[in-house]
Structure 1
């Protein structure tokens, strides 16, 4: 489709769907497309606008790419089911918010892989953007399809549809990759992909051949592994601007990173493993960035983000430095990812600039035994103190987050979930608080690059039985308990540890109607069951079996920095219910980063 402004057919489509503001554009802070860049890229988020606009990564990459003179960037989000139907009916292609340029008219389209259940939305966006779904079917004039995010570190299930995967921090590899693609425009597609794969942090699936056997997956081709790259200097990658959404979004506020990485070592947590090592932003840079974004956006809330915000050693200093600015502009502060300890809650509640709403705490497991298995580092005393401190500081509504299906779990561990919720109600009442307790229980999904990557996932039937068992034991009206849909957790588990053979399944599921699989109202298990059957693939083989120590994994060609030996040691320690101390507080855990850029391995002290 020839590039033009929003046309009558698109406006007609918008008038026929729910939430047309998702597609209207017109945001504050977006930058007009450049006149004649040498390379045009479209950042594509495989979910609806209000989810994608809440993703900090796109704000950072958009700002960074716009600063490269010869390269331009725009954005696109996945249309909801009603809009997809209208677009197909009216012959409207998916275009960018900035210019409505069709995806097929860009040089590069880049997806973020935040969640396995968004894979079919990638196919929707490619198809609506007039781009062949499979990399093998694209000619030299078709845009290159790249993808990054945590899902890029176990990329094989989606590799049929992606030309290049970006491994690690986009700020560290995207400029070099985009400049190389700009300089090689007009070359043969396969030659460009091979050249790109020589850039640190870039993996082209076409350069590897895979074989599968009862011993697991093995590959051949050019040298591997492909190593994840990091941006070591957080102060050098601060955004100068941000786009303010044109309608309400999930996280409608300024978001500024305090640091990347985590050293706590929770054995279930993929993010805690793949985002190592810790890289901090200076307090001065945090304050400077918040001030600049507050002036340019007009937002009245600030979120200081990281995997565990209160682990930032300068947190109190930073908040106190921000306080005059927030008081002057009548802004509020939120700190996501609070630890279950008295320091975190006292800090979060003791400041009048802190946003006070419902509080979320994550014990993860119901008993001390299971929390030791997963290396959560939260004691019974921590749980008690955190709940008491929350009520003492004025919170009356509390959400408690747990997992079920964890390795070695027993029904005593599940009963502990109910015990903690009842204890919370009792503490609240003793302190004359309303004490509304919402319990959320997610089915545990073993993820690649974690100590539990060898573990079997609970079956859907087991998850459902455990969820019902938990709900049947909630007797107190002050407690509400919900558990995640087991069938969604099952498909997530299949895709998380899947190999290249799942590409056929994803393609088939999409063709027979799979859309927005991460949304409970649109997820349809029967579609996936049909797709597995049509492709003669047993999904339980991927999700529900224990894997032997030496099995070849379909992500062995990706080096995220943490060694397989370390992960196996941690798995063995989990069976002994033995803790591994945070390396910032104790000795080096020898995870693999001690000789590759980690600043925390000398007795828990930063090695400047």
Structure 2
């Protein structure tokens, strides 16, 4: 085992050298010769982003609790170090022991966002690991992908040996045990992959074949190896209370994007927003026991020295013991200078009362996500918010002392009209107007309403997976319509409007909905120099367009078509529990503007109950 370290001369000439040196508080050090499996866990973005990811912390802690596994961390080098590593032929190495990644048994890459795909190739390339799985030999690491983007793994299929579909706490132990057995028996790489394919939730892309119709749509997808199943079922943990969770997460040397203790209070979401992939993928909803969470909070704050704790979930307001948990955290920690962060709250009196207790009103802003400006569009997306609820919530916030509100919207949603677009500005103005309805002596200066629009991407396994996208120019046109409407509002001096990059949105849509043919585009874009595509300063749309042209790939095929009801999707070999029939019914209800009640109010028969033995978690309580 050869260990590497960056020379001082290199560290002094790159941005934020602490990204690459390791040795942080709670980092795990072991002796490689005393472990059977050496696992490199990678987040394909810079250190500060990767260190903020809860999933990596959970797996890092879980793997290292096994005496036979040493898990180390790897992140994408920023462009300055990337250049030096290529020039000096320095292979990518781990943080803990500075061991070259190519010498590990496994390289596990978490895939959170489609625009990190070229960074995945960077990690493989700098590690001197062949980009294509079929070209790897027995000495090369097993490259495994996990995370939300693996629910359509096909654009990345040729770059990975296997994908782990689902939550990581379930079958990794089985996978490791199979690997150890294969190594004891002197089995080949292919023989290990065949045994891995028999583990529920493991997908080995090279054991499958895709066939296409003349029009480019998917005709058939089937296993070519007898060990590979025709359907891969996602893995989830039903008892999240007793699932592995890090009591002493690694503390970064430099400020991370989210520099705090993260306490995951539940998984899943009872809300049925039709655009939300996470809301479908992570069904059914599963809560952590409140007493367990209290003890976790104590231990994590003590073991890290962090001064902030964040309660994490898709919809924190729906956690049944939120009031009890927040009251405990306030009593236990607030006077000790610990800030309590509560993202993902809905607009209601309880949430605002809680926020008032835990936040410094003078410094903080409240975030609401109406997603659409008009009530018609909120019904289409099944948001479950009325204008009255939004304005009432804003009013209570203003009366409570807040003056800053952030509003999040989407543009380009199915059935959207110009009037729907303009309603974004009008609703924002009504929120500002609600502030100025407060008696002048009770106001705290002027209010600031910041509205932001992202552009809609129809994701796999959502009711909107059949929907078409728009061109980048059309997205920008819609943003211009909204921007002009903002300028015409009565309270325009209190309003600010931002919008996302439409070109990135189009590419995100291609990656999210793509098939195996998109892999050649990703590789060509990487060869042309694309890297850190989610970062504005390093995104080069012209290189991506060149990659599509060089590979003869039509962007419009993946973005502008409305999918036929019977079209086979590239991701349909994965069973997430939620049925295609339910998603299609929700699509049809969306086209009629019909609301579907949330899971607590009425079971909609989505299929996710199959993971709980036929009964959803919420229905058991």
Who is 1:224 aligned against?
230
Q: After superposing the two structures, state which structure 1 stretch, 190-199 or 265-274, moved more.
A: 190-199
Q: After superposing the two structures, state which structure 1 stretch, 110-119 or 324-333, moved more.
A: 324-333
3-state DSSP class of the match of 1:517? Answer: coil
Who is 1:285 aligned against?
292
Who is 2:620 aligned against?
607
State how 1:459-538 maps to structure 2 within 5 Å: 459-475=471-487, 476-538=492-554
State how 1:199-278 maps to structure 2 within 5 Å: 199-213=199-213, 214=215, 215-221=217-223, 222-237=228-243, 238-278=245-285
Who is 1:446 aligned against?
458
| TM-score normalised to structure 1 length | 0.96
State how 1:148-159 maps to structure 2 within 5 Å: 148-159=146-157
- 1:323 shift after superposition: 2.5
2-side partners of 1:535 and 1:233: how far apart?
46
* Matched-pair contact (CA < 8 Å) for 1:278–1:598: no
* Matched-pair contact (CA < 8 Å) for 2:3–2:100: no
Query: Quick one: structure 1 residues 301 and 599, their matched pair in 2 at CA, closer, same or farther if it must change by over 3 Å?
Result: farther
Who is 1:594 aligned against?
609
* Matched-pair contact (CA < 8 Å) for 2:462–2:583: yes
2-side partners of 1:152 and 1:356: how far apart?
38
Who is 1:118 aligned against?
116
Query: Quick one: structure 1 residues 355 and 290, their matched pair in 2 at CA, closer, same or farther if it must change by over 3 Å?
Result: farther
| TM-score normalised to structure 2 length | 0.94
1-side partners of 2:425 and 2:176: how far apart?
52
> Which runs of no fewer than 5 residues in structure 1 stay unpaired?
none
State how 1:227-376 maps to structure 2 within 5 Å: 227-237=233-243, 238-327=245-334, 329-351=336-358, 357-376=364-383
Count of equivalent residues = 602
State how 1:16-55 maps to structure 2 within 5 Å: 16-36=13-33, 37-55=35-53
3-state DSSP class of the match of 2:581? Answer: helix
Query: Quick one: structure 1 residues 244 and 599, their matched pair in 2 at CA, closer, same or farther if it must change by over 3 Å?
Result: farther
Find 1:139's aligned residue among 137, 150, 158: 137
Query: Quick one: structure 1 residues 451 and 27, their matched pair in 2 at CA, closer, same or farther if it must change by over 3 Å?
Result: same
3-state DSSP class of the match of 2:503? Answer: helix
* Matched-pair contact (CA < 8 Å) for 1:440–1:483: yes
3-state DSSP class of the match of 2:170? Answer: helix
3-state DSSP class of the match of 2:116? Answer: helix
* Matched-pair contact (CA < 8 Å) for 1:514–1:524: yes
- 1:560 shift after superposition: 1.0
2-side partners of 1:274 and 1:528: how far apart?
29
Who is 2:9 aligned against?
12
Query: Quick one: structure 1 residues 355 and 114, their matched pair in 2 at CA, closer, same or farther if it must change by over 3 Å?
Result: farther
Q: After superposing the two structures, state which structure 1 stretch, 93-102 or 184-193, moved more.
A: 184-193
- Encode CA deviations 1:128-157: one digit per residue, 9 max, x unaligned: 111111101100110000010011111000
- 1:174 shift after superposition: 1.6
* Matched-pair contact (CA < 8 Å) for 2:210–2:218: no
Query: Quick one: structure 1 residues 199 and 513, their matched pair in 2 at CA, closer, same or farther if it must change by over 3 Å?
Result: same
Query: Quick one: structure 1 residues 137 and 403, their matched pair in 2 at CA, closer, same or farther if it must change by over 3 Å?
Result: same
- Encode CA deviations 1:191-246: one digit per residue, 9 max, x unaligned: 11111111111110011111011353421224321000101111112322111111
Find 2:467's aligned residue among 445, 452, 455: 455
Who is 1:192 aligned against?
192
- 1:266 shift after superposition: 0.3
* Matched-pair contact (CA < 8 Å) for 1:340–1:363: no
* Matched-pair contact (CA < 8 Å) for 1:438–1:481: yes
Query: Quick one: structure 1 residues 355 and 65, their matched pair in 2 at CA, closer, same or farther if it must change by over 3 Å?
Result: farther
> Which runs of no fewer than 5 residues in structure 2 stay unpaired?
none
Who is 1:393 aligned against?
400
Query: Quick one: structure 1 residues 84 and 99, their matched pair in 2 at CA, closer, same or farther if it must change by over 3 Å?
Result: same
- Encode CA deviations 1:171-207: one digit per residue, 9 max, x unaligned: 1122211222222224211111111111111110011
Q: Does 1:569 pair with 2:579? A: no
2-side partners of 1:138 and 1:329: how far apart?
53
2-side partners of 1:540 and 1:57: how far apart?
34
2-side partners of 1:413 and 1:13: how far apart?
53
2-side partners of 1:5 and 1:223: how far apart?
41
